Chain A
């Protein structure tokens, strides 16, 4: 019996609940969603229904007035009870940056770590504990600049965790330098003559690393944000959710084209699995794919006819389709971008495989005699 098992047996409620692995059939689970929450398999369910307040810590929230982070926090706290899992079996790990203060405000286990390393630390948590749901809170500087290496590796490994990447296209906590998602020519404190470097498209980057779940949403669209988070939590493996998040102090209005009611219809390219990609006022715009190059482009539906539009398929094994769609995102000042789930495919999760190896090895016998035999080795001699 390990010390963790020992602790579990001493507590009122056993923590290991392989029996309740299928949340979709639980009375407390997300009934009616039509989704199987494989991503949460092994995480014990709460014995009582939880509400938003249960996921609210006693800490005063200290973001700037009007910060998009408030909306994401509210959506998260509203959505977590719906998962039905015990809050003590939830771990939130963040890096450094404004959004990375997030764990302090949620009454679960949490670690506000160091710059860029949240995905690495979360990999350890997720691999160690099957019975814990792991969320990573990070930003464009944290995940894509200093932590870029860890991000691509957690995605390629497909560790079972959900990453919320708050992208405000600026460094907020250090007071307004350009970030790796800022458009070229950005005038900031550190780039008075304009920034020179080409930005990352986080969705393209994640798909390049063959991430198995990649989505984009907007801080101010509570319904869409919640829907995407739900699907991300349901996914077993690494889920990357890019959240367009407004910084009212240093980059205000960066996503206005998508938020303003007068422009949003033509700015948001909605991705819904199984639907033709059609948008704009009265649906006058659509997405087509060049059969020769595979490149996607936006066209007037009237010019090509409805049948020519691309039907979104998030479940294709090859990430090329999703990658092609991600290229419809403006690299400069944002006027238009796809929103929704780009890719959602099943693949073995690293942490499951790692635990399977340990379990398989343990089945060969691991008592103290086996330990003594290992230490003795093959060549011993006895001195009398």
Chain B
């Protein structure tokens, strides 16, 4: 009986060549951990190249998983355990592993040739250079081939099951349940019995190796995390976004029309929606980004819920059509799954640098509401709200997500579909005015006095034939107008309509630790989008040191919540961490004349929790005039 160590949290990073199946391995470990009841947070990290040359540094793909017995906010800055399937994976990731960390390496891949490929002159597994770490050099490939030899696969095919051997070993080491992965493999390879059996056998062999070997003296247990009661699943941001869009369209009684062009990291939303046509979903893979949003807008004109999904480079191309949607005042959902830019940038790496683009990246005065999801599961309610606003206010709405939450996963308390309120599209069905001689007339730009929204009259509705377009329209009638006063009124009315959405936005709540003994937090940390996890986690860490810090997070970036200005002005220092060079900070400074401090990181990676916590502590200490 081996010794069992109880831990409250563990971070594992699986790293290997792009073809080694590291994403799948990580995904399975995550799933098994989630089902076990841990809180989880994941960070897939892979090259844009589909198969970079084998064994090279650019070809390294990794998957980091953080699992814990309490609610965690991030996938963790640094792993406790690094699984390295080859020398490149070791070299690319070793700098992130703290001294004393565990390395499990496939020694079979540490050949002279592979070592030389990445510039090792000697084998780090044996030359003593890793003596500060706990190194387990194991012949994973060899043991896998031996375990599956009964299936008569080629050596190459047999060795491909080595990721499952590693997963089996790790599952044993961390007491993970195994049924989920065994069921998954049975289903995934149902049509290829030899491959299925080889993978299952490799997985079981890895597990059995752990039990019998003397290599590991200790196994680890991470107890389930306390979570609100209910039914859970794990979900990625792109999946939650797709489900949110489908659910919203159903709640509105509208068919969903997605016009999209493949682009990393948004393509999975297209893939997912295309699987669910049964719910009245049409997916149109367009010839380019422009046609994608154009067809979506055409579908909205025709009475469907028009949606387009893309990333930053696609938003650039769609801008003119989004402007047309502003002018025609039709519902449209634009999902921008941000990635590192400018230009092609780093397609598989994350960033938040499209905020100003979606706010202002159109000609003329063309305001659009902007919402940002803060975590993978949060993409679901964000999509629901975006659709509700787009329909109510007859406007394009931008949803901002990013590569981090698009591909990352977390547990999700599955909502009850019946409990989600319906959305009334309120199609126009009758004329709303009269002409000079008293004949009934349809006024396509006559506005609802409350919302300033215009009627949505769809083709097929008798008597409501009308023409809309990008050219300026006379108020009420929608006739072409070059009248100066009319243009000014239309510009200001379109802006007022978007500003008026603030009435639908809840006041921003601040988590402020100020206590009854008169101790006040003087520093507020404020974020938006996917910095949510690192910010909350960093603030908690700061509080553990006894320092006071308040935090809050914005979903509504246009318009801002009504009380945001008051909040900003009630702290001595407001710090805004962003994965850009200070875009929200610029908006806040411009609108509220508050000297917010930008905390900017643009590395294509989520903001480091420990670095942020350290820097926030320094800010507080400086403000308080104390020396830590």
A residues less than 8 Å from B300 (CB atoms):
124
Given A110-B468, A114-B321, A381-B232, answer yes or no on A132-B284 (Cβ-Cβ < 8 Å).
Answer: no
Cβ of A34 within 8 Å of any chain B Cβ, yes or no, is no
The answer for the CA separation of A109 and B478 in the assembled complex, in Å, is 13
Could you say which of A109, A131, A363, A383 contacts B465, with CB atoms under 8 Å apart?
A109
Q: Check B304–A128 contact: CB distance below 8 A.
A: yes
The answer for the CA separation of A378 and B35 in the assembled complex, in Å, is 11
Given A3-B427, A87-B465, A113-B469, answer yes or no on A122-B230 (Cβ-Cβ < 8 Å).
Answer: no
Q: Check B297–A124 contact: CB distance below 8 A.
A: yes
The answer for the CA separation of A6 and B416 in the assembled complex, in Å, is 25
Cβ of A153 within 8 Å of any chain B Cβ, yes or no, is yes
Given A7-B427, A7-B461, A13-B462, answer yes or no on A129-B278 (Cβ-Cβ < 8 Å).
Answer: no
Q: Check B299–A125 contact: CB distance below 8 A.
A: yes
Q: Check B429–A371 contact: CB distance below 8 A.
A: no
| Best-surrounded residue of A124, A361, A363, A372 (most CB of chain B within 10 A) | A124
Cβ of A267 within 8 Å of any chain B Cβ, yes or no, is no
Cβ of B45 within 8 Å of any chain A Cβ, yes or no, is no
The answer for the CA separation of A114 and B290 in the assembled complex, in Å, is 11
Q: Check B278–A370 contact: CB distance below 8 A.
A: yes
Q: Check A88–B465 contact: CB distance below 8 A.
A: yes
| Best-surrounded residue of B228, B321, B415 (most CB of chain A within 10 A) | B321
The answer for the CA separation of A125 and B464 in the assembled complex, in Å, is 17
A residues less than 8 Å from B257 (CB atoms):
124, 127-128
Q: Check A371–B417 contact: CB distance below 8 A.
A: yes
Q: A16-41: contact bitstring with B at CB < 8 Å (1 yes, 0 no)?
A: 00000000000000000000000000
The answer for the CA separation of A205 and B464 in the assembled complex, in Å, is 37
Cβ of A8 within 8 Å of any chain B Cβ, yes or no, is yes
Of the listed stretches B214-222, B244-252, B602-610, name the one at the interface; the rest are far from the partner chain: B244-252
How big is the A interface, by class? 35 or more
Closest CB-CB distance, A353 to chain B, in whole Å?
11
Could you say which of A1, A13, A124, A363 contacts B298, with CB atoms under 8 Å apart?
A124
Q: Which residue of B lies closest to A103 (CB)?
A: B467
Q: A151-166: contact bitstring with B at CB < 8 Å (1 yes, 0 no)?
A: 0010000000000000
The answer for the CA separation of A13 and B253 in the assembled complex, in Å, is 21
Q: A341-384: contact bitstring with B at CB < 8 Å (1 yes, 0 no)?
A: 00000000000001101101111111010111011110111111
B residues less than 8 Å from A110 (CB atoms):
465-469
Q: Check A3–B232 contact: CB distance below 8 A.
A: no
The answer for the CA separation of A263 and B295 in the assembled complex, in Å, is 44
The answer for the CA separation of A4 and B303 in the assembled complex, in Å, is 7
The answer for the CA separation of A358 and B459 in the assembled complex, in Å, is 21
Closest CB-CB distance, A328 to chain B, in whole Å?
30
Q: Check A104–B282 contact: CB distance below 8 A.
A: no
Cβ of A303 within 8 Å of any chain B Cβ, yes or no, is no
Cβ of B68 within 8 Å of any chain A Cβ, yes or no, is no
The answer for the CA separation of A382 and B324 in the assembled complex, in Å, is 46
8 Å CB contacts to A: which residues of B420-448?
A: 425, 427, 429
Cβ of A312 within 8 Å of any chain B Cβ, yes or no, is no
Closest CB-CB distance, B43 to chain A, in whole Å?
20
Cβ of B254 within 8 Å of any chain A Cβ, yes or no, is yes
Q: Check B230–A131 contact: CB distance below 8 A.
A: no
8 Å CB contacts to B: which residues of A115-143?
A: 117, 120-129, 131-132
8 Å CB contacts to B: which residues of A94-115?
A: 96, 103-104, 107-114
Q: Check B306–A124 contact: CB distance below 8 A.
A: yes
Cβ of A174 within 8 Å of any chain B Cβ, yes or no, is no
Cβ of B276 within 8 Å of any chain A Cβ, yes or no, is yes
Q: Check A127–B284 contact: CB distance below 8 A.
A: yes
Given A371-B250, A380-B231, answer yes or no on A121-B298 (Cβ-Cβ < 8 Å).
Answer: yes
Q: Check B231–A382 contact: CB distance below 8 A.
A: yes
A residues less than 8 Å from B470 (CB atoms):
96, 112-114
The answer for the CA separation of A149 and B299 in the assembled complex, in Å, is 20
- What are 5 A-B pairs at a CB distance below 8 A? A110-B469, A111-B298, A120-B290, A354-B284, A358-B255
- Beyond the given pairs A3-B254, A108-B465, 18 more chain A to chain B contacts, judged by CB atoms under 8 angstroms and listed by A's residue number, are A2-B255, A7-B461, A11-B429, A86-B462, A96-B470, A110-B466, A120-B294, A127-B257, A129-B460, A362-B278, A368-B417, A371-B246, A371-B247, A371-B417, A375-B415, A376-B231, A379-B233, A381-B233
